[in-house]
Amino acid sequence: MKCQLMLIDGEWVEAADGGLNNVVNPATEEVFAQVPRATEEDVARAIKSADVAFPEWAKLSPAGRGNYLRAASELVMQRYEEIGRIMTEEQGKPLLEAQGEVKKAALILRYYAEEGERVYGRIVANVEANTESQVIYQPVGPAAAIFPWNYPVELLAWKVGGALAAGCTNIAKPPSLTPLSPLLFLQCLVDAGVPRGVVNAVTGPGTVVGRQLITSPIVKKVAFTGSTEVGRIVLADCASFLKKVSLELGGHCPLIVCRNCDLEAAVQGAVRRSFRNMGQICIAINRIYVDREIYHDFLERFVEVTSELMIGNGLTKVPCDLGPMANRDGLKKTQCHITDALEKGAKIAYGGKRPEGEEFHKGFFFEPTILTNVNHYMLVMREETFGPVVGVMSFVDLDEAIALANDTSYGLASCAFTNNLDEADRLSRE
């Protein structure tokens, strides 16, 4: 069985007490690897390491820091196949998608290598004579990166790349479901020569690792991507310490399909954005509003294209469009939303069950599901499912479509298809 260590002060180490967490393949439900289950002592060591390394890293020129990021980017690109394979094994997404994510992460590091050299200060006019006001951007200090399992390498790259380019050291908390691919990604930074302590990674439960990173007075900035529920807790804890925090939380993305749109483009976009990564994306489409004049044409084609998606184990069925969901909890929530909708009058236009076949007897597989006859009293139309299910309903005019799309407590993203520039402008604003 694989056992991947965590990164503290430039060394790959076990937990202080030897504790381990299992990593499960969602396509087979089998434990295939283990990682350390960090203790408070481990987290404290990682924080101290980042703190000690910070002054010298912050003094390094942006160009110097960029050289490390460029070198790491090259290594990630060289190792994308290996890292992507591990990601598919622990997260479930198809192999080509996983490898594509790793390639994008390499480009993100290169992006920050270049952008770090473009952080310009400002000279601001002052009302007082013989006085000049200057704005100079300085690294804030050791930063924590807490990121989710749905895009475990890309979302880490956005956080750690920006932090390192700005001159901050970093402590990453990989997601418990998918810790392996982020650790292999960070190995590229280590192998690129990033100084000891500049990058750290501590694996373990959020109640131990995340909580300590947030409450430590040494950690000056927290970047968190995850659920809205956990985000509220993170924000409250950071506020109590007057700590800088960046949050990207949940969404409930609507899609508005106008009558004058390119219908085929709308269908292809709806299928991709509703079901890619099994709907486990914060900007996945959860609800679709279609002009009643084209509703039936759209629905018929939407079902047809969705039915052509291939489902399977992303490692053994290449290519395939959809793998399993990442865990049992997500599968149960998806089933709960479908059951709630059916009890309130919805109908299944496609999917709604586990795929048939011997290969699906194990694993968290589920068919992409399209619901019709839906309304806003149903959970699927009000809450983020984070699964492969979408509700489709018609609208009379654009006023109604906008009202329905905005009938949510979420923000984050929305989509629309139209060939009318006036409609596009209005939808983008309202």
Element (H, E) at 231: helix 228-240
Residues in the chain: 430
| Cα–Cα nearest to 6, from 57, 42, 49, 32 | 42
Give me 318's structure tokens. Answer: 């290449």
| Alpha carbons 205 and 176: distance in angstroms, whole number | 7
C-beta separation of 114 from 66 below 8 A: yes
| Alpha carbons 292 and 110: distance in angstroms, whole number | 46
DSSP E strand stretches across 114-231: 122-124, 133-135, 143-146, 170-173, 199-201, 221-225
Three-state SS annotation for 270-316: HHHHHHHHHHCCCCCEEEEEEECCCHHHHHHHHHHHHHCCCECCCCC
C-beta separation of 237 from 245 below 8 A: no
| Alpha carbons 342 and 191: distance in angstroms, whole number | 53
Give me 236's structure tokens. Answer: 């409250």
| Alpha carbons 98 and 104: distance in angstroms, whole number | 10
Which residues does residue 255 pair with via DSSP β-bridges, in sequence order?
Answer: 288, 415
Amino acid present at 166: A
| Alpha carbons 57 and 65: distance in angstroms, whole number | 8
| Cα–Cα nearest to 223, from 155, 280, 283, 282 | 155
User: Which residues are tagged catalytic?
Assistant: 248, 282
| Cα–Cα nearest to 219, from 45, 417, 51, 402 | 51
C-beta separation of 155 from 147 below 8 A: yes
Give me 132's structure tokens. Answer: 């000049």
Which residues does residue 348 pair with via DSSP β-bridges, in sequence order?
Answer: 371
Helix intervals (H) in 60-150 = 62-78, 80-91, 95-115
Compute φ and ψ for 86, nearest 5 degrees.
Answer: -65, -40
| Alpha carbons 301 and 215: distance in angstroms, whole number | 51
